[in-house]
DNA sequence: GACGAAATTGTGAACGCTAACATTCTTTGT
DNA sequence: ACAAAGAATGTTAGCGTTCACAATTTCGTC
């Protein structure tokens, strides 16, 4: 900077002012400085800047299970929205949800001088750990959010599950079976709750509940069992991957989808329209989620803490994997 | 740091020494300093550190199309491997491959004081732009790598494509059609080359070539056309998403897979085993790729430039979407 | 044509750390 | 017991910015 100042015949402070867009510098001077900067290929040292300003323009994100569609989309969208807001985003992936590894993740981010931390881990345990941690910067939650949680933005999982189940009930199915995600995931628990409540509202008992782990493999295994049960005419799987595994098993066992059994997924992965039959599922607007998360972060940074939870409502996408039950089934 | 020094009754330099693991400090003193650090909750300021050492312990990564399976896996694996090597990884996603946006991406990373840049963009144009850019740090390429390219680690796309096509030819198909990715992607071009060469080696003409864009949608459209062509008994799709769209179209048109037409994909996405029929595809070891990329980066940083290209050989995973052609087809 | 206010520019210190060198303690050998 | 070598610690000076304030210039006014 001193070199630039010398080349432009001004003081280093004037160079600094030009760089920071101060009004207090004559146009002519500004031009000279800019020219000197260009000529010398000068690039300002952000470490020095951070040292004195204490503002890193960086936010941290803690994430997990980035191989899964949802988490990875969220990570990308937060990163993107952050960049657009002029912030760098540091991502650290955790592999388990112990107090220790969360602590490490937070520490790593704090070492990078992040101004806020976005937590995108839907594990119940993780969220508890995080909220019990002493963190000297704002913490924003973007997954596994329940209503009334402060500093959080999420997708209304329960509403999404409800509309999926209601769609099936509306088609005439007496009840709907549910293949859950791992219930330690808030998302999974909320989708399950939505499934239950949809039945309760209509005063019918829900169909059988099977436990999955998000993987298509677990969907496949569940499918093998469902194929044996003549009473099941509709299944709501907690994500598309499991729905696909499930349909695979049904095919394998010669059960027709949707002729004999209807299937609904959740997530609307890009492949969903192209499995056979095209999967009816629930679409989540991840990019909107990222944008909202960053907006909230900016508010927190500006001190305008808005404690209300922002919730985004997902919507059902009807395709070919759902249909009315066969008349045969309805005879009584 | 001064506070810690005071609390421990030593000079700030001794604290610095403890923090940097210097040998030149008595055990007893070290313990005192550590205690003071713990008590005061002291955390060293990396900006100040970077300012004087000029080492950021950060590497940058330029990526694109993070919604796609491959790029996103690569991003995650590099990030992960980087962390394990003690480096933070800054990711910036580019949306087009103009000189300008690449320049911006590089500048953004340089502003973050990265010590090296990993480029994970398989677009031919992007790679050309990047190599023509003046970048004051080592640049490592991890996608769209061709043999003999310096500072690069990649997956042998052509070999992968070859083994896929040879599998089909071995099953007795006379030739194999190919659904390409966008050919500006080096990957797509290489897979296409592998498909061609496999045919050349056996002195047979390749089947028809159709242009796709990675999306299941484009696979679906290609599938509609292939379904009309009685001469096509086997298709090699350049990625799994297109393969899935393609199979969907074939189903829709009543063509049996693999009975009438065999299909091979590329990538081995998690859903591949659970589409119907389970997709034969080519598996790429992304986590290995990330590790290798970081190894190479570390070498470059240490000045041991190894100009040889590291290539990883992908392997075929045979599932149910491929079979010998029907005898009917082979009658002549 | 000189006065004051506003606009523009400059000066010195500080941010928290490490590098380089200086100093003070311990040993060790005789 | 004393020098010399080596181990452990301390001192000082930056790294490249911005901040707070001081100094200088410019301009409108009478």
pLDDT tens for A258-273 read 999 999 999 999 889 9
pLDDT band at B330; cut points 50, 70, 90: very low
- pLDDT (mean) for A231-240: 96
| Nearest DNA or RNA nucleotide to A22 (CA to C1') | C8
pLDDT at A328 over 60: no
Answer for B19: CB within 7 Å of strand C: yes
Closest CA to A71 of A289, A315, A273: A289
Q: In the predicted model, is pLDDT for residue A310 greater than 90?
A: no
Residue of B nearest to A105 (CA): B83
Q: Which of A243, A181, A231 is nearest to A205 (CA)?
A: A231
Q: Is residue A117 classed as helix, strand or coil in its secondary structure? A: strand
- A48 chain-B contacts, CB cut-off 8 A: 47, 51
Asked if strand C comes closer than 7 Å to A17 Cβ, the answer is yes
Cα separation, A277 vs A295, in Å, equals 39
Q: Which pLDDT does position B276 carry in this prediction? A: 86
C-alpha to C-alpha distance for A95 and A87, rounded to whole angstroms: 25
Among chain B residues, CA nearest to A67: B73
Q: Average of pLDDT values for B249-261?
A: 95
Q: Which residue of A has its CA nearest to B87?
A: A108
Tell me the backbone φ, ψ of residue A78, rounded to 5 degrees: -65, -45
Decide if A220 and B93 are in contact by the 8 Å CB cutoff: no
What string of DSSP letters covers B124-142? HHHHHHHHHS--SS-EEE-
Q: Which of A52, A271, A287, A290 to mutate to test the interface with B (most CBs of B within 10 A)?
A: A271
Q: Which residue in the set B113, B244, B270 is minimally distant from A47, CB to CB?
A: B113
Query: Which chain A residues are closer than 8 Å to B73 by Cβ?
Result: 67
Residue A332 — very low, low, confident or very high, per pLDDT cuts 50/70/90? very low
Sorted by sequence, the CB contacts under 8 Å of residue B170 that are 6+ apart come out as: none
Residue among A141, A136, A140, A139 at smallest CA distance from A111: A136
Scanning every strand, the nucleotide with its C1' closest to A26's CA turns out to be C8
Which residue, chain included where needed, has tokens 């599938």?
B223
- Which of B48, B248, B271 is the closest to A276 by Cβ? B248
Residues 6 or more apart whose CB falls under 8 angstroms from that of A146 comprise A154, A186, A190, A309
pLDDT-derived band at B329 (thresholds 50, 70, 90) equals very low
Q: Which stretch, B67-71, B193-197, B266-270, has highest mean pLDDT?
A: B193-197
The C-alpha atoms of residue A157 and residue A145 are separated, in whole angstroms, by 9
* Rounded mean pLDDT, A156-163: 96
The arithmetic mean of pLDDT across residues B113-140, rounded, is: 91
Domains of chain B: 2-44 (1.10.260.40), 55-155+285-313 (3.40.50.2300), 157-284+317-330 (3.40.50.2300)
Best of B239, B244, B271 to disrupt the A interface by mutation (most A CBs within 10 Å)? B271
Q: How far is CA B236 from CA A276, B92, B219, B255, B261, in A?
A: 19, 32, 11, 16, 11
Residues B216-249 as b/e (b if ≥16 CB within 10 A, e otherwise) read bbbbbbbbbebbeeeebbbbbbbbbbbbbbbbbb
CA separation for the pair B70, B239 (Å, rounded): 10
Nearest Cα of chain A lies from the Cα of B22 at a distance, in angstroms, of 21
Considering only CB atoms, which chain B residues are within 8 Å of A44? 111
> How many beta-carbon pairs under 8 angstroms link A with B?
121
Cβ neighbours around B30 below 10 Å, total: 17
Protein CA A130 to sugar C1' C2 (Å):
69
Chain C: bases < 7 Å from a protein Cβ? 7-12, 14-20
Q: What whole-number distance in Å separates Cα of residue A70 and Cα of residue A240?
A: 11
Please give the residue of chain B at the shortest CA–CA distance from A82: B92
- B220: closest chain A residue by CA: A274
Q: Determine whether B296 is exposed, middle or buried from the number of CB atoms within 10 Å of its CB (0-12, 13-18, 19+).
A: buried
A262: number of Cβ within 10 Å: 26
Q: How many CA atoms lie within 13 A of B312 on its CB side?
A: 21
Q: How far is B37 from chain A (nearest CA, A)?
A: 15
Q: Distance, angstroms, CA A301 to C1' D23?
A: 37
- Rounded to the nearest angstrom, the gap between the alpha carbon of residue A264 and the centroid of all alpha carbons in its chain is 20
The per-residue DSSP string of A211-252 comes to E--SSHHHHHHHHHHHHH-TT--EEEESSHHHHHHHHHHHHH
Residue of A239, A276, A279, A285 best to disrupt the B interface, most CBs of B under 10 A: A276
B133 touches strand C (CB under 7 A): no
Rounded to whole angstroms, the Cα distance separating B160 from B78 reads 22
Helix or strand (DSSP H, E) at B148: none
Q: What percent of chain A has pLDDT over 70?
A: 98
Cβ–Cβ below 8 Å for A271 and B48: no
DSSP-derived 3-state class of residue A272: helix
Q: Is the distance between the Cβ of B1 and the closest atom of strand C smaller than 7 Å?
A: yes
* Number of helices followed by number of strands (H, E) in chain A: 13, 12
Range with the poorest average pLDDT among A51-65, A142-156, A225-239? A142-156
Residue B258 makes CB contacts below 8 A (sequence gap 6+) with: B277, B320, B321, B322, B323
- Strand C contact with B57 (CB < 7 A): no
Mean pLDDT for chain A overall: 92
Determine the Cα–Cα distance for residues B319 and A216; give it in Å rounded to an integer.
15
- Strand-pair partners of B185: B123
Give the confidence band of A157 by pLDDT, cuts at 50, 70, 90.
Answer: very high
Instruction: Return the number of other C-beta atoms located less than 10 Å from residue B27's C-beta.
Output: 7
């Amino acid at each position: 900077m001193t070199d630039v100042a010398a080349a432009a015949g001004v003081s280093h402070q004037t160079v600094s002012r030009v760089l920071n867009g101060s009004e207090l510098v004559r146009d002519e001077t500004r031009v000279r400085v800019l020219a000197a900067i260009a000529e010398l290929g000068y690039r300002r040292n952000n470490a020095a800047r951070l040292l004195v300003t204490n503002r890193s323009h960086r936010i941290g994100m803690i994430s997990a299970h980035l191989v899964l569609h949802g988490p990875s989309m969220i990570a990308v969208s937060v990163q993107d929205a952050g960049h657009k807001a002029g912030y760098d985003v540091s991502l650290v992936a955790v592999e388990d949800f112990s107090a220790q590894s969360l602590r490490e993740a937070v520490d790593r981010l704090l070492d990078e001088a992040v101004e806020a931390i976005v937590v995108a881990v839907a594990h119940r345990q993780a969220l508890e750990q995080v909220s019990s941690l002493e963190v000297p910067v704002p913490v924003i939650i973007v997954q596994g959010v329940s209503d009334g949680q402060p500093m959080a933005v999420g997708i209304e999982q329960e509403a999404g599950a409800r509309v999926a189940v209601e769609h099936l009930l509306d088609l005439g199915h007496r009840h709907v079976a549910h293949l859950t995600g791992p219930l330690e995931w808030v998302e999974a628990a909320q989708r399950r709750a939505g499934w239950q409540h949809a039945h309760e509202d209509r005063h019918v008992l829900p169909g059988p509940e099977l436990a999955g782990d998000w993987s298509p493999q677990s969907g496949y295994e569940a499918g093998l069992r469902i194929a044996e049960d003549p009473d099941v005419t509709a299944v709501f799987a907690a994500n598309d991957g499991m729905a696909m595994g499930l349909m695979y098993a049904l095919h394998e066992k010669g059960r027709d989808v949707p002729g004999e059994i209807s299937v609904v997924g959740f997530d609307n992965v890009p492949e969903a329209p192209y499995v056979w039959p095209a999967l009816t599922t629930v679409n989540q607007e991840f990019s909107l989620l990222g944008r909202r998360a960053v907006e909230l972060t900016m508010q927190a940074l500006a001190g305008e803490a808005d404690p209300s939870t922002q919730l985004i409502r997902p919507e059902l996408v009807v395709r070919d994997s759902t249909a009315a039950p066969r008349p045969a089934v309805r005879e009584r």
